[in-house]
Chain A
Amino acid sequence: MRLELANFPVKDVRFDGRTNYHGGVLEINREELVALVLEDGKVVSANFDVALPGEQTRIVRVRDVVEPRLKVSGTGCVFPGILGPVETVGQGRTHRLSGVTVMTSAEYKLTILEGNAAGRTALVDMWGPAAQLTPFGSTINIVLMLKLRDGVSELEAHAAIQSAELRVAQRLAETTRERAAEDVEVFELFETDPSLPRVVYILGCRTTWHEPHSGVALYGLPIRESLPTLVHPNEFLDGAATSDARRGGKGTFPCTWEWMNHPVLLRLLREHGKRLNFLGVILQRTRFESDFGKQVTAACASQMARLLKADGAVITRTGPSGNNFIDVMLTVQACERKGVKTVFLTPEWGGREGTELPLVFYVPEASAMVTTGSLDRVITFPAPAKVIGAGDTQIVEITPGDPLISPSTSFVGDKGYLQGGIDWWGGTRHTCQVY
């Protein structure tokens, strides 16, 4: 499985002329793309805007973010199982428009009004303190604003938002088909020096069996109570993993863009054949609801690592859930007991003051851990010059049931308000200091 990822950097986005990419400038024909989105009868209105890094702009009601990519050769398509048939992806050639996102801000009438399953939104600031805390403060964000018709179910809302953003992303990436790439990076798990340490990546994802969308889908199939599965890292680069497009807020889930630009995967791929022998990804569903289920997933994931003859495993998780944290810790323990050394990468709790218990559960075998920062850091959001987003941009609900915020003003919140604000995979530039 050899994947060429061809890079087409975007330095500016303009809404004029025909949809076209040339010399780093992405031109978008707004009417064409609005018409494309409105083909779905569940969308009653659509519009576009763009937000550039450094502008005093706040984007609201953000629910998902994707990177425009296009399969130009090899089996399947980008976002397999959603935009095309279920064919194993991760080989051939894929074009990407880098430095630019399709960021979807959507409004619809919720039918689930509270709890984790409810749709929620996030903010993105293009300047100031919040811009440093997420990848999206330094990308050019093409904001797709959607309003869905009343009466859609939660799952229909997810499907409508996702379909709109993925089709727009595909259309934009289509502009690169006949163009020459600025650079091409090749990703392949080739045969390598057998003396290099064999490393597997156990990618724990929190999913729920009882919610309209489980939170993470593989080839379009929401992952519910499944056991771990082995995935080639290149598959993620072709959009095999996608998120619930209704739920942007509280940093709960990495969004689709983060799955496509997964920092741990990319780093392990780039180190393959140099410092290590990357064996692949064990995608492990976590958040079983009994000790029994937790032990089964830990046993299976660690057994998969042992069967791959892994010397070591990098382990991460998603979702601010004490429940899933136990599954992951038990997986660390099970791997170590089978002779697979582990490094566990996770953000920590600790409260706004940083003085509370940082981990809810621990095992003595978890002897190598890396923190990606606090889940609860307080941010004073400054007043913006401009607010972009679907619906009423004066009053916004981030999490159903929480106090409303007024995005055109200054207010105090935490980094969970931000899309991508919680760093599950070590992708941001946080550092820490012992004092």
Chain B
Amino acid sequence: MAHITSMATLAKQMKSNRIVVGTKIPHPCGDPNLSIEADNTLRREIVKTALKALQAGVSGPTIFVPDISYTSG
């Protein structure tokens, strides 16, 4: 299982094995501040990271960080 969440620290504490860092609690897989095109690129990157995480062998809670930038905290 790959777990996309904006709360990676919490997911790690809860022993989730494959943690993918999403954007924000209300929209973990996207960013409404971006244009539709940029948002699509960002969403694709998060999902691709999740697919990579699924294929990775892990020995405990591991955080996978998508190559994205944040527009707000």
**A residues touching B (Cβ–Cβ < 8 Å)?**
225, 288-294, 296-297, 323, 326, 330, 360-362
Q: Once bound together, how far apart are the Cα atoms of A353 and B73, in whole Å?
A: 36
B72→A293 contact, CB < 8 A: yes
Which of B22, B23, B25 contacts A323, CB < 8 Å?
B25
Q: Once bound together, how far apart are the Cα atoms of A360 and B8, in whole Å?
A: 14
B72→A330 contact, CB < 8 A: no
Q: Once bound together, how far apart are the Cα atoms of A254 and B63, in whole Å?
A: 37
Chain B 12-34 interface 0/1 with A at a Cβ cutoff of 8 Å (1 = within): 01000000011111100000000
B10→A289 contact, CB < 8 A: no
**B40 on the A face (CB < 8 A):** no
B13→A362 contact, CB < 8 A: yes
> Can you show 21 pairs from A to B with CB atoms below 8 A apart?
A225-B72, A225-B73, A288-B73, A289-B24, A289-B25, A289-B26, A289-B73, A290-B6, A290-B70, A290-B73, A291-B8, A291-B21, A292-B73, A293-B72, A293-B73, A297-B73, A326-B9, A326-B10, A330-B9, A361-B9, A362-B13
Chain B residues closer than 8 Å to A288, beta-carbon distance? 73
Which of A225, A292, A296, A360 contacts B10, CB < 8 Å?
A360
Chain A residues closer than 8 Å to B25, beta-carbon distance? 289-290, 323
Give A194 Cβ to nearest chain B Cβ, in Å: 37
Q: Once bound together, how far apart are the Cα atoms of A323 and B70, in whole Å?
A: 18
Interface centre among A289, A290, A361 (most CB of B within 10 A): A290
Chain A residues closer than 8 Å to B47, beta-carbon distance? none
Q: Given known contacts A289-B24, A290-B24, is B10 in contact with A361 (CB within 8 Å)?
A: yes
Chain B residues closer than 8 Å to A360, beta-carbon distance? 10
A290-B22, A291-B9, A326-B10 known; 14 new pairs, CB 8 Å cut-off, are A225-B73, A290-B6, A290-B23, A290-B24, A291-B6, A292-B73, A293-B24, A293-B70, A293-B72, A297-B73, A323-B25, A330-B9, A361-B13, A362-B13
Taking chain B's interface residues, is the majority helix, strand, or loop, or is none over half, making it mixed?
loop
B7→A326 contact, CB < 8 A: yes
Chain B residues closer than 8 Å to A297, beta-carbon distance? 73
Q: Once bound together, how far apart are the Cα atoms of A297 and B72, in whole Å?
A: 12
Give B10 Cβ to nearest chain A Cβ, in Å: 6
Chain A residues closer than 8 Å to B10, beta-carbon distance? 326, 360-361
Chain B residues closer than 8 Å to A330, beta-carbon distance? 9
Q: Once bound together, how far apart are the Cα atoms of A290 and B30, in whole Å?
A: 12
Q: Once bound together, how far apart are the Cα atoms of A288 and B21, in whole Å?
A: 15
Give B36 Cβ to nearest chain A Cβ, in Å: 21
The residue in chain A whose Cβ has the minimal distance to the Cβ of B72 is: A225
Chain A residues closer than 8 Å to B13, beta-carbon distance? 361-362
Q: Once bound together, how far apart are the Cα atoms of A330 and B24, in whole Å?
A: 17
Q: Once bound together, how far apart are the Cα atoms of A417 and B23, in whole Å?
A: 35
Interface centre among B10, B13, B24 (most CB of A within 10 A): B10
Give A321 Cβ to nearest chain B Cβ, in Å: 11
Chain A residues closer than 8 Å to B7, beta-carbon distance? 291, 326
The residue in chain B whose Cβ has the minimal distance to the Cβ of A210 is: B26
Give A361 Cβ to nearest chain B Cβ, in Å: 6
Give B45 Cβ to nearest chain A Cβ, in Å: 15
Chain B residues closer than 8 Å to A225, beta-carbon distance? 72-73
Chain B residues closer than 8 Å to A292, beta-carbon distance? 70, 73
A296→B9 contact, CB < 8 A: no
Interface centre among B7, B22, B25, B73 (most CB of A within 10 A): B73
The residue in chain B whose Cβ has the minimal distance to the Cβ of A323 is: B25
Q: Once bound together, how far apart are the Cα atoms of A291 and B7, in whole Å?
A: 6
Chain A residues closer than 8 Å to B8, beta-carbon distance? 291
Give B66 Cβ to nearest chain A Cβ, in Å: 12
In B44-73, the 8 Å CB interface with A consists of 70, 72-73
The residue in chain B whose Cβ has the minimal distance to the Cβ of A227 is: B73
Q: Once bound together, how far apart are the Cα atoms of A255 and B7, in whole Å?
A: 29
Give B1 Cβ to nearest chain A Cβ, in Å: 19
Q: Once bound together, how far apart are the Cα atoms of A129 and B26, in whole Å?
A: 39
Chain B residues closer than 8 Å to A290, beta-carbon distance? 6, 22-25, 70, 73
Chain A residues closer than 8 Å to B26, beta-carbon distance? 289
Q: Once bound together, how far apart are the Cα atoms of A293 and B72, in whole Å?
A: 7
Give A381 Cβ to nearest chain B Cβ, in Å: 35
Chain B residues closer than 8 Å to A361, beta-carbon distance? 9-10, 13
